[in-house]
């Protein structure tokens, strides 16, 4: 995530792909302008992908919200930090979020 985060973008989930083709990669699913978007090529081409479907499914389970899942070693203050802004939330997800392997 080398780019500057926009205030209307909220990183929800990071995925680590272990596929052979096109090769290992990191994909991000974010909420941008109230729409779920993914950085993978499949999403760009068809506006849908397994990462998108995973996130949308979890959101459906939690009344439209995506649950913040952090690694066990995350500081207790990480949850409070995540509530400050979309940028802070995204930083907490980047630093302490559970990474899904797809």
**Rounded CA gap, 20 and 28, in Å?**
19
Q: Which residues pair with 36 in a beta bridge?
A: 31
Q: Does residue 2 carry a pLDDT above 60?
A: no
Position 20 confidence tier, pLDDT thresholds 50, 70, 90: low
SS3 90: helix
Q: What is the pLDDT of residues 27-64, one digit of tens each?
A: 999 999 889 999 988 898 677 899 999 999 999 999 99
């Amino acid at each position: 995530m080398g780019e500057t985060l926009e205030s209307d973008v909220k990183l929800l989930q990071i995925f680590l792909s272990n596929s052979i083709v096109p090769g290992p990669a990191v994909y991000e699913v974010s909420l941008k302008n109230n729409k779920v978007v993914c950085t993978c090529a499949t999403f760009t081409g068809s506006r849908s992908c397994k990462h998108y479907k995973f996130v949308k499914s979890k959101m459906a389970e939690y009344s439209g919200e995506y649950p913040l899942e952090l690694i066990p070693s995350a500081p207790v203050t990480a949850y409070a930090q995540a509530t400050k802004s979309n940028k802070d939330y995204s930083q907490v997800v980047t630093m302490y979020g559970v990474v899904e392997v797809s």
